[in-house]
């Protein structure tokens, strides 16, 4: 008496081992190649390198879910952010020759008012010292005339 497991093993082990004959191989391959040639002649649509990766409904659902999660994350992160400190006003110009030109003074005043102007004056003094040696009035005023 064989049990179910024994029967399963018996069927699996008794798999017939057959080999195809040479004539069969020749016939199958010849006819298959002919069918392939015929298909190629009619028009072989080359598959893309990522063949099979089609935008299915599943992908669309995943994309929508990802977009919703990202949007919620951005929203929560923005709400939790501390109110940012105002950045310290940057000097309008960095080049020494332009630090006291009319254009730079006007720009500095527009950006930071009198405090910014005062800061720029002090920076200028730090760099040039009390005497602006080598800096002519013409150079100081260049800018307003566009020269």
Partner 1 sequence: MIDEKILVWRFNRGSKDALRRIYEKYKDDLLALALTLLRDRSMAEDVVHDVFVAFAAGTGAFRLSGTLNGYLSTCVANCARDRNRLKAGRNAGLDGAEAVACGFDGPLESAARREESGRLNNLLAHLPYEQREVLVLHLQHQMRFREIARSLGVSINTVQSRYRYGLDKLRSVFNSTVTE
Residues 52 to 111: which contact partner 1 by CB under 8 A?
52
| From 40-48, 94-102, 104-112, 131-139, span contacting partner 1 (CB under 8 A) | 40-48
Total residues at the site for partner 1 (CB under 8 A)?
37
Stretch that binds partner 1, among 14-22, 80-88, 111-119, 135-143 (CB under 8 A): 14-22
Task: Tell me the three-class secondary structure of the chain, residue by residue.
Answer: CCCHHHHHHHHHHCCCCCCCCHHHHHHHHHHHHHHHHHHHHHHCCCCCCCCCCCCCHHHHHHHHHHHHHHHHHHHHHHHHCCCCCCCCCCCCCCCHHHCCCHHHHHHHHHHHHHHHHHHHHHHHHHHHCCCCCCCCHHHHHCCCCCC
Where on the chain is the footprint of partner 1 (CB under 8 A)? 1-4, 7-8, 10-21, 24-25, 27-29, 31-33, 35-36, 38-40, 44-47, 51-52
């Amino acid at each position: 008496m064989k049990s179910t497991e024994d029967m399963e093993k018996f069927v699996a082990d008794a798999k017939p081992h057959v080999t195809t004959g040479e004539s069969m191989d020749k016939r199958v391959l010849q006819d298959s190649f002919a069918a392939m040639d015929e298909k190629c002649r009619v028009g072989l649509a080359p598959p893309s390198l990522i063949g099979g990766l089609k935008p299915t409904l599943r992908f669309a659902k995943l994309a929508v879910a990802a977009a919703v999660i990202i949007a919620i994350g951005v929203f929560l992160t923005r709400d939790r952010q501390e109110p940012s400190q105002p950045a310290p006003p940057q000097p309008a110009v960095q080049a020494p020759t332009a630090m006291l030109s009319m254009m730079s003074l006007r720009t500095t005043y527009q950006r930071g008012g009198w405090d910014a102007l005062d800061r720029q004056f002090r920076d200028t003094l730090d760099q040039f010292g009390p005497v602006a040696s080598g800096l002519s009035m013409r150079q100081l005023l260049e800018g307003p005339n566009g020269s």
